[in-house]
Every structure is written in structure tokens, then in C-alpha cells.
Structure 1
Amino acid sequence: MAASVFDSPLFAQLFPTGDTGRLFSDSAAIRAMLLTEGALAKVQGDLGVIPQISGAAIHRAAMEIQVDPGAIAKATGANGVSVPGLVAAFRSEMQAPEHAQFVHWGATSQDIIDTALMLRLRQALALAEADLREILMALGAQAAEHATLPMSARTYGQHATPTTWGAVLAEWGMPLLDALSELDTLRKSSLWVSLAGASGTASALGEKATETRAGLAKALGLGDPMRSWHTDRTPLLRIADWQGRVMAALAHIGQSLIGLTGSDVQEISLGAAGASSTMPQKQNPVGPSTILALSHQFTGQRATLQAAAAHQHQRDGAAWFAEWMAVPPLCLSLASALEHTKRLASGIAPRPVQMHANLEATLGLIHAEALSFALAGLMPRPEAQAKAKALCLEAMEKRIPLKDLATAAYPKLDTAAFDPVAGAGHAAQDAAEFARRTKDL
């Protein structure tokens, strides 16, 4: 088995990462760092910090030169960071020492690596946004179609009250809608450029350090933090927090689908399911199970990132290295979970006959709450609760439907209490509102 399922040809279809996977390769990291170095030189040249002709030459070369990750592996191992080896290789490939001497002027390795990471995280967020829109539109369309389709709501794994399939879909999708609406704010607050120099004081960047940082931010389309964030890892923590809330919503969908496809429930068809090696009757919920596994993986890496946020002094190698090991799996776990959820959202289908059968399977006890409130129209509420509970116990003991016992005991009882659509409260409205909000995404 490969060290990571995300790098495994064997598991590529089980843990797909789509275009996000290409963002977290050595080649992608080097390309982002070179883009950062090129943009920095161009800005410094325009500001007169370095010769303008040199800035332009470096910027152009950064677009054209390719550096083999293997060629700088030895230097990376010796230095603990890839930038010194990358800068040396880039200068050599430029074959213009009069210009190459100005590469990486005044910056530190962390400036380049952190900024390059932000360029890739920006793309990862854009891809996640596209996936969320696709998922939400699929869930919304089905919520509109099945807004009034009654089914059993379950709490603690047991029948609670009636709901509708459309409302369940809305429940799944609303946290994703919230996350989608927060993305613009997240980008502004977290996708930052880093240019603070060796100790966060911009000491080697000269008198135009502030203008240089602002210019670099503008050139790369990132935010200007107006300060150093070498030891303030808030931007990464904010992004991981957003990812974590999306992952939690996806895990809820996965967990619910596993329950709804169980042998004793069977209210949902997944459209495609996995086979067992020995039990021919099995159709395993592979997609939902994979989402849950990815959620577990994400949680572990999220804890690593949180622990690594405690940097020492003005810069910290150990904490920084731990981030490198945590951030890619966080992004890839979420990307893979989104890929699975996209497939499921477009393929799941309700089984109305089974939903109805399950509603009636417990002798109508799912209407017990509605019955207690209906009885409260005939007697004080505490007495109504006690009578409803007694009727439930009698129904279970005698195996007689609750409705039959209740109407026999209380002929004036409003039988709407046993209507699953009426008993679903504002479930249909919730489904319709969710569908409306997702229609034009």
C-alpha cells in the first residue's frame, strides 16, 4: 500500500481528488514559488529597489524556467527548506548573473513558501466552491421535487416524528450554503501575501518594504496583511476551520446515507453501490463510507495544524514543517469527500413505498407527539401527555395501531394528528426555501 491513498494508483478511484490533487505536487509547489519570486522582482524593479531591467528579466525567466524537484532535493535536505536550493538552481538556469544576483532580494524562505502556498490554497478554494455549487444544485432540485414526501425523522437512531425527504435534503444542504456564502470573506481575511524578511521586521527589504509588500500582494491577487504573520498562523487556521465545517456537513450526509440504506431501513437508493467478496446480496454504501473515512483523516490532520500553530520566538522550523505535513492532506481529504458527495447528490433516489412502510411499521407510534398535543385540546397538557404515553404502551403491548386505540378512546379527537404530512410541521416549507436558494447558484 502506498504511503498516502492520494498518491496511490490502486486507490485513485476510491479517493479521487480531481484537479485539487495537481495543486499539491512538488512541481506545483516549485511553480508557485517561482511565480512568487518573479512577481517580487518585478515589483522591486518598478519601485527602484533593484534595477528595473533586472526585475523584468527575473519576472520573465520565472515564467519560463522549470526546476526539477529532484535536482534540489539534496539542498532541501541539508537546509531544511527548499528555497535556497531553488534560488541557486534558478539563478544558474537564468544564465544572466548580472540580473540573477537580484533574485530573492530581501525576502526569506518563509515569505516565498507561505505566499506560494496561498496561491495554491486560492485555487483549492475555487475548486471547492465549484463542487459545493454542483452539490447544492443537485440537492436543491431533489428537495423541490420531494418537498412533501413523508418519511420518518430519527433521533438517537429511533423513529421520532414525521418529516419529509425534501426537508432532510435541506438539512444536509443548509450548512453547505452557509459555507458557500462565507467564502468571499474567508478569501479576504486569509489569502495573504507574506513579505516580512528573516525575523518579521523586513530589515533587508529597505525603505520601500511596505510598498513592496503591497505591490506584491496586488501583483499576485492576494491580500496585504500589513504585518508579518510568520508566527501568527491565523490565515491557515481560518481556512482549515472553514474546510472542517464543510467536511462535518459532508460527514453528516455520509453518516445519514449509511443509515438510510441499511437492511432494516432501505429508504434510499444510492444508484451505485459496492459488492462484497463473499456475500452476493450485499450492496455496500462505498461512497458514504469513504466520506466518513476522509472525515476521520481530516480531523487528525486538523489537530496537527492546530498544535503546530504554537510557534516559538519570531520563526519556528519545527512548527512550520508540521504544517507542510498537514495542509495537503486537509485539502485533499476535503476534495475527495466533495467528489464523492457530488456523485451521490446526483444519484441518490428516495424509495417512497419503503418510506411509507417504515412510517407505519411501529403501529403509528411516530405520531405520539402529535397525539399528545391533539389530546391537549380536550384536557390539560400534563394529563394529555400521560394519556398519550399510556396509549403508546397499550399499542405496543396489544400490537394495535395507536390511531385505532386513540380514536376509540376519544371519538372527538382530531385525526389530523395521524397525518404524516401535517405532522411534519414546516418541513415542506424548509425544503422549498432551500430549493429556492439553490436554484440560481
Structure 2
Amino acid sequence: MSVSPFDSALLGNLFSDPEIAALFDDRAQIASMLLFESALAAAEARAGVIPEKSATRIAEVCREFNPDPASLAAGTASAGVPVPALVKALKAEIGGDDARYVHFGATSQDVVDSALVLQLRDAVAIIRRRIRKLAKALSAHADTHRTTVMIGRTRSQQAVPTTFGLKAAGWLAPLVRIDHRIDSLSSDLLRISFGGAAGTLASIGVKAADVESNLSEELDLPLADMPWHAQRDVLVDFASQLTALTGALGKMGQDLVLLAQSEIAEVQPGKGGGSSTMPHKSNPVQAEMLVTLARFNAGLLGTFAQAQLHDHERSGASWLLEWLTLPQIITATGAAIAQAVDMVPDLKINAGRMAENLELSRGAMLAEAATFALADHLGRDAADKLVKDAIAKSAENASNLFDELQKLTDAPVDWAHIRNPANYIGQSDVFIDRVLGAAKRGLRD
């Protein structure tokens, strides 16, 4: 087994997400750092800080320069950051007097953090696009199955009837909220990092504000109020939202695993995975992955949150901790949403089995409905006692609750209406409409 299953040739297709992972591999990081160096040179040339011809030369080389990540490894290990080795290699590639203007006035953290933001911008776009796709599939299930009655379960026990449409709406609703929070957070998250050695930009002198503004335009990233080298709260907030997203997907996955149990068989999620020895098995692999990735991110978030504890103007230890954790959180999120997008549209809903399972309690799941119906005639306490007596008789005789009730009371209750689970789903339709409306409003392309 490799150190990380995310980049394992054996396990990668199970755990990883190639589209997201490609944003955070070595070559992608180097390309983003070179984009920053090119944009910085252009910004400084526009402000008259470096010669325009030097900026042009730097941009030309940055576009074509593609160093082998391994060639930067020794320098990275020595400096604790890849930027010095990359800048040295870039200067050597540029040559001549122009090389001295590479990385002019910047610090390594400006490069790495701004490169990270460029990567995050693409990752956010991918994740939010997938949320919309998943939301569309869940919306279809919620609408189609708004009258598909099934057992509602609380604490793993049969409770009262619900509908599969409402259950699907319950999976959808958190996605709408989380997408909104990620969108709101993006305005703070996707900002340039540019502060120089200790966050003052003193090295650039009186033109610093002009260079900063130009750099913002070159990278198409807004300015921050001040350099955020040691302010990592927004990154922690972002990781928290990704963890909330995988948690919401994990809750859906857990429900699907339980609904797919052989004894329940109300839903069949995904394509199903086979067993090495049991030909009859169809394991809910994709649903299980959602649970696994949710638990993984929940654990990793606590480690990542410690990276917020920078000392003074920069902490190498906290910064390194981010590199160990944040890419994994993002990749796990990408993998989870990709699995869900692939699985949910093809869920097989067994409405017939749901109807069969409704009968397993022999009417007991409608005891609450019976109690409220009888309370109009007997009062609440008397109705409650009568229903409990009928439940005991039902268990003793293996009979239906409502058959026993009719033996115990002549109250004028429409028992045929009360014993139909479809008549006790309350405001399910209203709630589904609210969630679908929120999704339609909040997830417009």
C-alpha cells in the first residue's frame, strides 16, 4: 500500500478524484507559482519598478519553463519551501541582467499562498459545479417520490411514515446551504497574498501600493485588506465547509447503506460491488465511500485547524501542516461529490418493498395517529392508555393494532383512513416544495 491512497496506482480510482488531484500535483503547483512570478513582473513593470523588457522576458520564460519537480527537491528540503529553488532555476533559465528582477520584492509565502489561491479558485469552481449536478438529481428524486410512502426511522427504530421524496429533500437541503456558504466565503478566500518579507512591502518602496493593485489585476484576484501570511482563519473556514459538505454526503451515504441492507432492500445505490466468494452480493461501495470520506475529513479538519496557530508574522511549522492536510481535504471532498454525482441519478427505488416494510409493525407505526384520533373523543390520557393496551394485545396475538383497537373502543373514528400510512405524512409536500424552491433559487448556474 502506498503512503497515501489518493495517489496510489492501486487505490487511486477508489479514493481519488483525478480532476481535483491534477490541480494540486507538483507540476500544477509549479505552474501556479510561475504564473505568480510572471504576474508580479508585469505588475512591477507597469508601476515602473522594473524594466518593461525584463518583465517581458520573465513572462516569456515562465510560459515555457517546465522544470522537473525532482530537480527542485533538494532545494525545497533545505529551505523548507520550494520557492528559492524555483526562483534560482528560473533565473538561470532567463539569464543576463533580466534575471535579477525575478521575484523582486516578494517573499516565498507570497508565491506559495497566491499559487494556492489560484488552485483553490479552480477547485471551488469544480466542486460547486458538481454540487449543482447532484442537486439536480436529488431534486428529481424529491419531486418524483413525494408520495412514495416509506417507514420513517428514528434511533434505528420504526417511527412514523414519511416519504422517500422528503428523505431526498433532506439530503438536498444541506447542499444548498453549504454551496451558499462556500460562495459567500469565496470573496475572502480568493485574494492575493502579497506582503514581502514581514508583511509590510517595504522592499518595493513608494510604488508598493501600485504594484499590489497591478498584481491584483494581473491575477484577476481581489486585494486583501492586508497581507494574510499569519491569518489563516479563512482557510480553516473553507476547510470547515468542505468537511460539512462531505459530512452531508456521508449522512446520505449512511442512509443508503442502511436502506440497501438485504432485510430492508428499499433502495439499491450505485452499480454495486461484488464479493470474492459470494456471487449474490451487491455491496454499496459508493455509498460506503461517502461515509469513509466524511469521517476522514472530520478527523483531518482538527489537524488542519491547528495550522491557524502561526507565531508572529510567519510560522514554518504551521505552514507545513497546511501542506500535509488541506490538499487531502479538498481531494477527499472532490472524490465524495464525484461519487455522489455518479451514484444518485441511478438510484433504484423499490417502492414495492417500502410498502411491504410499512406492514411489518402491524400498524404500530401509526400508534401516534391513532392516539390523536381517539383523543378527540376520549381525552389524551385515556386515548394514550387505550392505544398502549391495543399495542400489547397486537404483540400478544400477532395481530394488527387497528383490529385490536376496534375491539377495545366504539369511538366513532374513521379507522380505514387512520390506518393508511399515506394519510399520515403531514407537511411532507410543503417541506419538499420549500427545499426545491430554495435549491432552484440558490443553485442557479
The two structures have a TM-score, normalised by structure 1, of 0.96
CA distance in 2, matches of 1:387, 1:199: 76
CA distance in 2, matches of 1:213, 1:238: 25
Answer yes or no: is 1:347 the counterpart of 2:355: no
CA distance in 2, matches of 1:221, 1:258: 44
Answer yes or no: is 1:91 the counterpart of 2:86: no
Counterpart secondary structure, 2:12 = coil
Tell me the equivalent position of 2:26: 26
CA contact (8 A) 1:46 1:55 kept: no
Q: For structure 1, list consecutive stretches of 5 or more residues without a partner in the other structure.
A: none
Tell me the equivalent position of 1:419: 420
Give how far 1:182 is off. Answer: 2.8
Answer yes or no: is 1:241 the counterpart of 2:240: yes
CA distance in 1, matches of 2:270, 2:326: 33
Q: For structure 2, list consecutive stretches of 5 or more residues without a partner in the other structure.
A: none
CA distance in 2, matches of 1:207, 1:167: 61
CA distance in 2, matches of 1:376, 1:59: 80
Tell me the equivalent position of 2:431: 430
CA distance in 1, matches of 2:36, 2:388: 69
Tell me the equivalent position of 1:136: 135
Tell me the equivalent position of 2:170: 171
CA distance in 2, matches of 1:148, 1:7: 44
CA contact (8 A) 1:194 1:213 kept: no
- The percentage of counterpart residues that share the same residue type is 34
1:116/1:383 CA distance change after superposition, 3 Å: same
Deviation by residue 1:44-64 (Cα, 9 ceiling, x = unmatched): 110112222222322232222
Give how far 1:252 is off. Answer: 0.4
CA distance in 2, matches of 1:437, 1:311: 39
Give how far 1:271 is off. Answer: 4.4
**Residues 34-43 or 366-375, more deviating:** 366-375
Counterpart secondary structure, 2:160 = strand
CA contact (8 A) 2:254 2:287 kept: yes
Tell me the equivalent position of 2:256: 257
Deviation by residue 1:260-308 (Cα, 9 ceiling, x = unmatched): 0012211002241111112222211111111111122212221111012
Tell me the equivalent position of 2:47: 47
The two structures have a TM-score, normalised by structure 2, of 0.95
Counterpart secondary structure, 2:204 = coil
Tell me the equivalent position of 1:296: 295
1:403/1:18 CA distance change after superposition, 3 Å: farther
Tell me the equivalent position of 2:335: 336
1:16/1:315 CA distance change after superposition, 3 Å: closer
CA contact (8 A) 1:191 1:235 kept: no
Tell me the equivalent position of 1:407: 406
Tell me the equivalent position of 1:393: 392
Tell me the equivalent position of 1:274: 273
Tell me the equivalent position of 2:365: 366
CA distance in 1, matches of 2:81, 2:16: 29
Deviation by residue 1:312-356 (Cα, 9 ceiling, x = unmatched): 121100110010000110011011111111111111121011101
Give how far 1:43 is off. Answer: 0.7
Aligned pairs, number: 440
CA distance in 2, matches of 1:407, 1:224: 73
CA contact (8 A) 1:271 1:347 kept: yes
Counterpart secondary structure, 2:381 = helix
